[in-house]
Amino acid sequence: MIILYPKLANGNVLWSCDNCDRRAEISFVETRRISIYCTCNNKCNPQCNEEYYNSGIYLNSNKVYVNN
C-alpha cells in the first residue's frame, strides 16, 4: 500500500502520522508520497511510504543522481 497525501492550494503536502494522527504541512514538490520521522514511535510514518525512500525507489524514479 502507498499513501498519497493531498496537495494544498499553496503546493505543500498535508502529512499525518498513521500512528498518532499528528499533522504537518510539508514543502515537497516532487511527490505526494511522504514518510516523516515521528516522535510517537521513533519511526518514519507511514511505514508503507518509508520503504519507498529507503529502498532507493524514490531516487531511481525521479532520476536524481548522487555523486559519491
Residues of the chain with pLDDT under 70: 28-30, 53, 56-68
**Looking at residue 40, what is its pLDDT?**
92
User: Grid coordinates in use for 41?
Assistant: 514511535
All three cell numbers of 46, joined, read 507511514
CA distances to 16, 24, 59, 63 from 38, in Å: 10, 11, 22, 28
* Grid cell in block for residue 54: 529507503
Domain boundaries, the chain: 13-61
Dist CA 22 CA 44 (whole Å)? 12
Rounded to two decimals, the pTM is: 0.64
